[in-house]
Structure 1
Amino acid sequence: MRKLCFAALLLLCANAPALAIEWHALFLAGDDSIENFDNGRRDLSALLDEIGDIEAIQVTSSRRVARREDIVFADEDGVEQAFGGLQASKGQGCLIHLTSHGNEDGLYLAHAATLDPDHFARLVDRACGKYPTVILVSACYSGVFITDQLEGPNRIILTAARDDRPSFGCSSDTRYTYWDACLLENIEAGALWRDVYDRVRSCVRREEREIGADASEPQAFFGAKAGDWAVVF
């Protein structure tokens, strides 16, 4: 009888849902020449806040938006300040969304030096360390951010393009970049990040075919402990 009860207890524990995580998030729009990036930052933040427990730091490259919304301005000091305020601890996780132009050196910031993959990895390590971390990078050539330094067993990295490909939707005739738009369209509570990635990749390819563009080929990394993570678990 004791063996049966113990076996039943193990079964219940194995099927119990994971404890909820309090997510500390950072949303950064790196360019102010068009509104697409701030639109993506603002609307993805709002969507994820509806889904779960998100405490967000907002960062913009638009002085007008920074004053109006009372958020961090993305100059050199502001970026450091924002990541310094993103501090995860036990029971918490990090969610980071970067959206801007990009090149093979990293993420373009209109009022600061290019955010290169090595510097970004150091910022993430200091802020998030060993805790669950989801990183979303919407930019041309954003595959450059999938590096040994940034990867880890408790991390997911999704990027809008390969490290040698542009992405699309950075123009005044669209509200978002294609990748941000597809992300907003396909994120829903409880969806696995793996499934979100697959759906976003298909969505982006459809949009690119319509304009006759070469495939940007969004990329992903799923750490050994992160393969079955759901959106805001």
Structure 2
Amino acid sequence: MIDLKPSINFWHDLKSNQTAGLWLFLGSRKSLQVVHPSIFQFLFWGVVAGGVNTLYSWMVAGQIGSLNPQGLISYALWPFIALIVGIFLSQRMNNQRLMLVPALLWLVLDSNILLIQCLLQYLGDNNILNFLPDSIYNFLPNFFMILFVWQSIAVIWVFSRELKWPWWERCLIMFATVCTLVVWQMSVKEQPIWKVEDVAPSISEDVLYAQGNLLKKSLDQIQLGDFAQTHWYFLGVAGDSYDSVFSSEVQRIKAQFDTRFGTLGRSVQLVNDPDTGTTLPIASQTSIQLALNRIGQQMNRDTDVLFLYMTSHGLANQFELENAPIDLKQVDPRWLRGALDQAGIKWRVIVISSCYSGSFIPALQSDNTLVITASAADRSSFGCNSQADYTYFGRAFFDQAMREKTTLHDAFLDAQATVSKWENAQDFEPSEPQWSLGKNMELMLPQLEKHLFPSNNPAIPINHIEPVQMSQP
């Protein structure tokens, strides 16, 4: 029969109940032999379990939001059910001390499992577990859901064995419990203990009516190329609105090109950022095509060159454009090549900073084109953090190498080495930035670079800032 030890003192009972919870995790009936039930232990472990679950929910919510009482009530349902089961068992066994045992064991095991989840969440939030493959992160939520189901099944398992329930009764109760727990676990996601209210993205009336004029003004200010000399034109595209690093990066690089590389009056920036909706034109397929067409019209196509910089998240053969709630079409390599060809731009330097950006090279490469990408076709790039001013590649190439070097190739090699150093320091998989140079551009580039890197423009000293640890998917 069940051997419930009498209470000795609070701390002794606490230690015994912690041990009982570990035995319960193993499905051992020994948990019933060492557990010390009391109303003080039940209340203590109830507070601990509720606190740890709230902590975990707060961490998952990104430390924002507010306490959701409905989530707490939903969580309290299961120890309450376990308490009802305990009352039933205590009446059936004529042992009043048995009443608190199922709920107490459940709370102890739940507290320990959630403490492990909190630890893993903390390590993940602080990039301490970056060495783990992505498959582990994808598996962990399902693994902990299985543990949540198991902690309830374990209570039934040890009691059914101890009380020698018939096999059909064990199977029926366990099956009903599993179904109920799975359904509850899937639905409770809508009511977490710490909840961040979803705010539907919106476009204000000011933004709606400003965009047409902003794009027209940006395109109208593009100056004609002078046939007597070579000019560089700059087009910067910040694709995603939910990470402000892309907006910051494009605006800083455009300012750098205008002041250092002579593109003032010949530069355009297209930015998806909720903070710039009334000041800068947004980035879309339409605005990109119109900007390329305007640059193609204004430039001397035989001697002028376009520097196109695009930064965002990405997938293989996809550069992401996002500015909710607008449903934007995505940029793929064939579309971008067609847009450049349609604009009639002959000499092209294209730099794409996103994950898997190397997948754009085959479609974009031509005899008259230099293509630089922040990553290989099958690799991620890093640095997309809203607290950062540049991505890893953007900082290494533009904010450092382009200020110190006098050729694009030297700047690329320097940035490649810098990015590799940062990635090695964080144990990231190398992004492997790519360089692809057409045969005509190889001959033409030294002449073009004389106008990009004027000899009388001294290098500007910079502060080398270590990058923030984030991936750029």
Report deviation, 1:189.
Answer: 7.5
Q: Which residue of 1 aligns with 2:437?
A: 222
Report if the CA contact (8 A) 1:51-1:189 is conserved. Answer: no
In 1: Cα distance, 2:392 partner to 2:405 partner: 23
Report deviation, 1:108.
Answer: 0.4
Report if the CA contact (8 A) 2:233-2:305 is conserved. Answer: yes
In 2: Cα distance, 1:92 partner to 1:98 partner: 20
In 2: Cα distance, 1:136 partner to 1:44 partner: 12
Count the aligned residue pairs: 211
Q: Deviations over 1:93-129 (max 9, x none)?
A: 1110000001013100004222000001111122243
In 1: Cα distance, 2:256 partner to 2:247 partner: 14
Q: Deviations over 1:117-172 (max 9, x none)?
A: 00011111222432x2111101000001101x421222111000000000000123
Q: Which residue of 2 aligns with 1:176?
A: 390
Q: 2:305 aligns with which of 93, 100, 103?
A: 93
Are residues 1:65 and 2:276 paired?
yes
Report if the CA contact (8 A) 2:355-2:375 is conserved. Answer: yes
Report deviation, 1:217.
Answer: 0.1
Q: 2:366 aligns with which of 119, 136, 152?
A: 152
Q: Deviations over 1:20-75 (max 9, x none)?
A: 5212221000011121101110111111222233111110112431413xx32123
In 2: Cα distance, 1:62 partner to 1:83 partner: 21
In 2: Cα distance, 1:190 partner to 1:104 partner: 31
Of Structure 1 and Structure 2, which has the larger fraction of its residues in strand? 1
Report if the CA contact (8 A) 2:317-2:357 is conserved. Answer: no
Report if the CA contact (8 A) 1:102-1:140 is conserved. Answer: yes
Q: 1:56 aligns with which of 267, 276, 284?
A: 267
Identity %: 25
Are residues 1:126 and 2:342 paired?
yes
Which residue identity is paired with 1:109? L
Report deviation, 1:211.
Answer: 1.3
Higher gyration radius (CA) = 2
In 1: Cα distance, 2:425 partner to 2:278 partner: 38
In 2: Cα distance, 1:144 partner to 1:206 partner: 23
Q: TM-score, normalised by structure 1?
A: 0.83
Are residues 1:199 and 2:410 paired?
no
Report if the CA contact (8 A) 1:156-1:222 is conserved. Answer: yes
Q: Which residue of 2 aligns with 1:3?
A: none
In 2: Cα distance, 1:75 partner to 1:219 partner: 25
**Alpha carbons of structure 1 residues 190 and 180: separation in structure 2 relative to 1, 3 Å:** closer
In 2: Cα distance, 1:160 partner to 1:56 partner: 22
Q: TM-score, normalised by structure 2?
A: 0.42
What is the CA RMSD across the aligned residues, in angstroms?
Answer: 2.0
**Unmatched tracts of structure 1, length 5 or more:** 1-18
Q: What secondary structure does 1:191 align onto?
A: coil
Q: Which residue of 1 aligns with 2:331?
A: 115
Q: Which residue of 1 aligns with 2:350?
A: 135
**Alpha carbons of structure 1 residues 129 and 117: separation in structure 2 relative to 1, 3 Å:** same
Are residues 1:81 and 2:290 paired?
yes
Which residue identity is paired with 1:117? P
Higher relative contact order (CA 8 A, sep 6+): 1
Of Structure 1 and Structure 2, which has the larger fraction of its residues in helix? 2
Q: 2:314 aligns with which of 75, 93, 102?
A: 102
**Unmatched tracts of structure 2, length 5 or more:** 1-227, 454-473
Which residue identity is paired with 2:377? D
**Alpha carbons of structure 1 residues 102 and 141: separation in structure 2 relative to 1, 3 Å:** same
In 1: Cα distance, 2:262 partner to 2:343 partner: 18
After superposing the two structures, state which structure 1 stretch, 198-207 or 71-80, moved more: 71-80
